[in-house]
Chains A and B, each alone.
Chain A
Amino acid sequence: MNGVHDMGGMHGMGPVEDEKNEPVFHARWEGRVFALRRAMGAWGKWNLEATRHEVELVPATDYLRMNYYQRQFAAFIELMVKKGLITRAEAESGKGERGSPKVVPALTVARTQTLVTQGVPASRNVAVAPRFQPGQRVHTRNINPTGHTRLPRYARGKAGTIDRDHGVYVFPDTNAHFLGEKPQHLYSVRFTARELWGEQASPRDSVYIDMWDDYLEHA
């Protein structure tokens, strides 16, 4: 979707502000949001791409006003309600509805370290032929889906060069909507800064963007 989250190349966001001696979490609740999302993810009711898309659905004015963990928290509650893990009324009251079943947590302390150290790989060991080879010139598609995509607006309809083939990965545009993983080759594609931004850009600079087969056409 052409949301405000897709902000590469936008102006007017102000200077980058570095904070000295920054804590990992600025308030206790931020750490709890971080941990709650991981713990609830263990129920397997959604995937990484779906969580990202839910954040994209936060209305633009709220998205820009909220900090990172506020957005994550808002999206997290929406996902839990959509997937039936809690009801809207429970989210509002903080109390379980009468007769709601008590279950056993999916993420135990013992499983926490496994999750942290093994992660959730997005690569897939399936035989899919690559459509492109390193060094090949490509064009990116000009698509404007209303759903999830990882093809940034600033890189649509542009010419680039395949830098490397990362292998076969889950395709986010379908997986975010629970329409299947559609595994396909993922490449790092090099775009010159001038191709993306015009003559004002440095002639030497470039941006490398990870792109799936479905985003690319032969040049």
Chain B
Amino acid sequence: MSTSRRGFLAAAGAAAAQDLAHAQDHGHGHDHQVVPSDATLRVKSIESLLVEKGLVDRAALDALVDTYEHKIGPRNGARVVARAWVDAAYKNRLLTNGSSAIAELGYTGLQGEHMVVVENTPKVHNMIVCTLCSCYPWPVLGLPPVWYKSAPYRSRSVIDPRGVLREFGLELPEDVEVRVWDSTAEVRYLVLPERPAGSQNLSEEALAALVTRDAMVGVAKVALSQTGDRA
């Protein structure tokens, strides 16, 4: 490794340590910095360099950010789940060929090119992780939350899934089989949660409003009282 690379990493690491100290000082993550952080300046500097050289188009960057901030998110996956709950033939297609069944609802593309859907039942509970990086099914869930990308979740979900689920408030009985799916390849997994009891009279749209991101990663169940995704 070159000295300049070390220098860059040291600077980036120092900035990370500052951010951490900031978060610890305040005990919360709100944004009230007056002085731009080192990361802000460095990223701006690289962006303007790449624009100057003609390597990137700022409008394309804006479009990408807008797409993942506003257009693609867990509401997509919730519609897939609700459809499977009300349409047995669709559910069958979804569990047999996840990619094409999800594409029927218009959700395709980056980090969802090869989809497999796994079904939770009263006796089987599935949960998804990527221990090696942070692979996640973007077209149906959007970009992953910080906890999914964090060392605690990546390290522990394979060795202690029940302990991790307990921290999410989900205590599973001993006789339930836990299946953890480690996304080591380009296949992306989505959990089809159990339809909550007492939801027989709800419309497909009302059902979709119950489905949370966490339930589709497999760290929560869908509850009848839940109203929409908190993320």
Contact = CB atoms under 8 A, between A and B. Distances in A.
Contacts of B64: 34-35, 38-39, 112, 116
Contacts, number: 312
Nearest to A208: B181
Contacts of B156: 13, 16
A76 B221 CA distance: 37
A39 B167 contact: no
A34 B68 contact: yes
A36 B182 contact: no
Nearest to B145: A22
The size bracket of the interface on A is 35 or more
A16 B69 CA distance: 24
Interface string B168-188: 100000111111111111110
Interface residues of B, number: 95
A174 interface: no
B177 to A, nearest CB: 4
Contacts of B178: 193, 202, 204-206
B193 interface: no
B49 A5 contact: no
A22 B229 CA distance: 11
Contacts of B52: 95-96, 102
A209 B73 CA distance: 25
A78 B1 CA distance: 10
Contacts of A208: 179-182
Given A91-B49, A102-B54, A116-B67, A9 B9 contact: no
A17 B23 CA distance: 14
Interface in A75-128: 77-78, 85-86, 88, 90-96, 100-109, 111-113, 115-123
Contact of B29 (A26, A40, A197): A26
A32 interface: yes
A70 B16 contact: yes
Contacts of B65: 25, 31-32, 34-35
Interface of B: 1-2, 4-5, 8-10, 12-13, 15-17, 19-20, 29, 31, 37, 39-40, 42-50, 52-57, 59-65, 67-69, 72-73, 108-114, 116, 129, 131-134, 142-143, 145-147, 149-156, 158-159, 161-162, 164, 167-168, 174-187, 230-231
Interface of A: 5-11, 13-22, 24-29, 31-36, 38-40, 43, 48, 52, 55, 58-59, 61-62, 64-70, 73-74, 77-78, 85-86, 88, 90-96, 100-109, 111-113, 115-123, 150-152, 154-155, 166, 169-170, 172, 186, 188, 193, 196-197, 201-202, 204-212
